[in-house]
Chains A and B, each alone.
Chain A
């Protein structure tokens, strides 16, 4: 029996090199784990039927001696990332039956290394949510406490890793969708620099905010997956190649915007854990500086204007004509649109389309959308100034540990869980959530995350600090 609990991507690769076990044996172990755990956790929407064939190809490569660090590594892929010939639905009814006609760039890169795709993971519909309660196919339960959410929107990808259902996974992060669930389930979640990873083949939600990011057990693994998927891509004109000279740099000074921890709604236990983490970083030799980000208080409002505006445009493509669901009974094309979109989209997607339409409509665009764009600039300027003084900025990842399923029934209270994460997407900078211990919640102790943000393209800062923090 392979010890999956303590296995990492790095260790599995070493085991393959030493012929301790094959990619096929590893894939079989994961399939067995998924079979026993997924019915309860609901992390996977589909487990692929060609997993062992994929693993067989990886084994051939391993036998040849010429193989890559991700060869034979079993991964879960969020249901909004396209794999040629596989279903992809973004956990929405409106994409029922959709089969991806091509590989996303990240998938192409992983296939080149012969990684093994186990299946597609559950999520909030079109990545809109922070708990996967908006999935059309049921909530993902937190593997550490099944009465609680796994977080979202990449809840399936994170729960897959946390339950021992994959060695790593890809999620997407528009406002915290990789980091928040990673914090809730005690794993590592990275939101790369905007444009650092190609969005080609990722279903669009907020196009100026979206980025694909890895979910892993360790920071070392996060770096391995990130290195595999990053880079400029001619199919996504917003991508750029990262400056490799940064690799040797280490961060020394950490900025903490203590003023934002004074806001209402932050669990005192989370604050206590955060202060302990800062103490630990100090002990590791980092200099801590109290910094001010004067416009950060507007981040969440700015995010919940820009994101729905982009959502309302991106969701226009789902019309019941080109792909997915088509609801019968309309008298003409317009009625077909109305019926298909009315039946195909879930409540949260509909809400965001309505809000986006409102903030973009004549008479309101200046007060909402255009004002939000100006504030986005000001928030970016605040970070630029802060990064002149400090190397990285630390906050908690989320204001609370994983909450109970059904607890946040009011959409606005759900949005407030994104308070620390949305800023990195607004500014476009990289951010990582690393497990920082547990806090009491109900009758259990549940994990929380420490979020570290760095300037554009400075992912190496995050990996370096993260490894030191976790003792890797």
Chain B
């Protein structure tokens, strides 16, 4: 049974703020979906994992683009930037410890 505590924990792991009022409803929905997919735990027989036919293709780690080919376009998509740097809030100190 998925509880609102579980949803709170999963939301924390997935870095999403979920309003308190939606927790109970979400717990019910997630519980019903997990209940449905749990039927696979009943599957028996020879279970093995094979290497899939497709495999990762490696390539040389060399630059494919000319310098600054995409820089302006990529930076322009950032909500906040200064020059060529993305601007973010501090990650150390403040109140961050009690959340992490």
Which residues does A use to contact B, with CB under 8 Å? Answer: 97-99, 101-102, 194-195, 234, 237-238, 240, 295, 298, 300-302, 304-305, 312, 316, 319-326, 330-339, 341-343, 345, 350-351, 353-355, 357-359, 361, 367-368, 370-375, 377-378, 410-412, 415
Provide the bound-state CA to CA distance between A334 and B12, in Å. Answer: 10
- A-chain residues with CB within 8 Å of residue B95 when the two chains form the complex: 331-332
The answer to whether A301 and B39 touch (CB under 8 A), given A312-B14, A351-B26, is yes
If A339-B17, A354-B7, A377-B49 touch, whether A411 touches B33 (CB-CB below 8 Å) is: yes
Min CB–CB distance A348 → chain B (angstroms)? 10
List 14 other contacts, CB 8 Å, given A234-B59, A367-B41. A101-B74, A102-B70, A195-B54, A237-B59, A301-B38, A316-B14, A332-B96, A338-B15, A341-B15, A342-B19, A350-B26, A372-B37, A374-B47, A410-B29
Inter-chain contacts of B94 with A (CB < 8 A): 331-332
B29/A411 in contact, CB under 8 A: yes
The 8 nearest A-B residue pairs measured at CB? A342-B17, A326-B79, A101-B73, A237-B57, A323-B77, A338-B17, A374-B47, A301-B37
Known: A102-B70, A358-B10. A338 touches B48 (CB 8 A): no
Nearest B residue (CB) for A364? B34
B40 touching A361 by the CB < 8 A rule? no
Closest to A95 in B: B77
Q: Report how many residues on chain B are interfacial, defined by Cβ distance under 8 Å.
A: 52
B77 touches A345 (CB 8 A): no
Check A355–B30 contact: CB distance below 8 A: yes
The chain A residue with its CB closest to the CB of B59 is A234
Bound: A424/B18 CA distance, A: 34
The closest CB in chain B to the CB of A349 belongs to B16
- Complex Cα gap A359–B11 (Å): 14
Distance A325 CA – B18 CA, assembled complex (angstroms): 17
Whether B54 pairs with A353 at a CB distance below 8 angstroms is no
In Å, the complex CA distance between A330 and B91 comes to 11
Instruction: Knowing A101-B77, A371-B41, say if A350 contacts B18 (CB, 8 Å).
Output: yes
| Chain A residues in 8 Å Cβ range of B10 | 354, 357-358, 361
B15/A325 in contact, CB under 8 A: no
- Cα distance A240–B14 when bound, in Å? 34
Whether A354 contacts B90 by the Cβ 8 Å rule is no
Interface residues of B in 38-64 (CB under 8 A from A): 38-41, 43, 45, 47-50, 54, 56-57, 59
Identify which of B16, B39, B73, B79 contacts A321 (C-beta below 8 A): B79
Asked if B1 CB lies within 8 Å of chain A CBs, one says no
Contact between chains at B70 and A321 (CB < 8 Å): no
The contact string, 1 if C-beta is below 8 Å from chain A, for chain B 79-97, is 1100000101111001110
Cβ–Cβ < 8 Å partners of B73 in chain A: 99, 101-102
Q: In the complex, what residues of B have CB within 8 A of residue A350's CB?
A: 16, 18, 26
Question: B78 and A334: CB pair below 8 A?
Answer: no
Instruction: For the complex, give the distance between the alpha carbons of A328 and B6 in Å.
Output: 27
The interface residues of chain A lying within 8 Å CB-to-CB of B2 are 358
Query: What CA separation (Å) do A101 and B14 show in the bound complex?
Result: 27
Residue of A at shortest CB range from B94? A332
In angstroms, how far is the closest chain A Cβ from the Cβ of B37? Answer: 4
Given A332-B96, A338-B15, A345-B16 in contact, is the A321-B37 Cβ separation under 8 Å? no
What is the chain B residue whose CB lies nearest that of A319? B15
